[in-house]
Structure 1
Amino acid sequence: MKFFLISDNIDTAAGLRLSGVNGVVVHERNEILEAFNNALNNKEYGVILITELAAEKIPEELKAHKLSGKLPLIFVIPDRHGWRGDKDFITKYVEEAIGVRVNE
């Protein structure tokens, strides 16, 4: 199974291409959605990597696929600018899941 990248910038795509990950650079919602659907339909892909800004444009589609439990797996990754989201998202996720505050 292969990895596939959906990126909103050339730098991330070029960096991952150097490690053997093919992908596309897209900017508009319709382009991102088309690339996502094409990747889902390609049985060679086991993992789809999508940059954070691209993922923000198709949140419902990403959530629906993740909840389906089907392959390929989806991972949202930071781009060359780093993570834009909440830095403590894992801690908050665990706290919410188990109902115990992890740190102060």
Structure 2
Amino acid sequence: MKFFLISDNIDTSIGLRLSGVNGVVVHEREEILKEFNNAIENKEIGVILITELAANKIPEELKNHKLSGKLPLIFVIPDRHGWRGEKDFITRYVEEAIGVRVHE
């Protein structure tokens, strides 16, 4: 199965292309949604990588697909500017899941 990138910037696209990951650079919600729908219908794609800013434009569609449990898997990744979300989101996620505070 292949990886596929949906990016909002050319730098991330070029970087991942150098490692063999094909993808598209899109900026508007409609373009992102079109490429996302094409990617989830493509049976050769097993993992979709989507940059954080692009993912923020289609949050409901990403959530619905993730909850469906179907392939491809979806991973939101930072772009060349780094992660814009909360820095401790993984720790908070684990704490919420197990109900125990992990750090102080």
Instruction: Calculate the TM-score normalised by the size of structure 1.
Output: 0.99
User: What's the CA shift string for 1:38-93, capped at 9, x where partnerless?
Assistant: 00011110000000000000000000000000000000000000011011001000
CA-atom RMSD in angstroms = 0.4
Distance 1:31 1:100 in 2: 41
**Counterpart in the other structure of 2:85:** 85
Residue 99 of structure 1: how far off its partner (Å): 1.1
Report the counterpart of residue 10 of structure 1 in structure 2.
10
Give 1:73's aligned amino acid: L
TM-score with structure 2 length normalisation?
A: 0.99
Report matched runs for 1:23-62 at 5 Å.
23-62=23-62
- Structure 1 gap ranges (5+): none
Structure 1 runs (4+) greater than 6 angstroms displaced: none
3-state SS in 2 of match to 1:70? coil
Equivalent residue, structure 2, for 1:64: 64
Number of aligned residues: 104
Calculate percent identity across the aligned residue pairs: 88
**Gap runs ≥5 in structure 2:** none
Instruction: Tell me the alpha carbon deviations over residues 3-55 of structure 1, each in whole angstroms, 9 at most, x when there is no partner.
Output: 00000000000000001100000000000000000000111100000000000
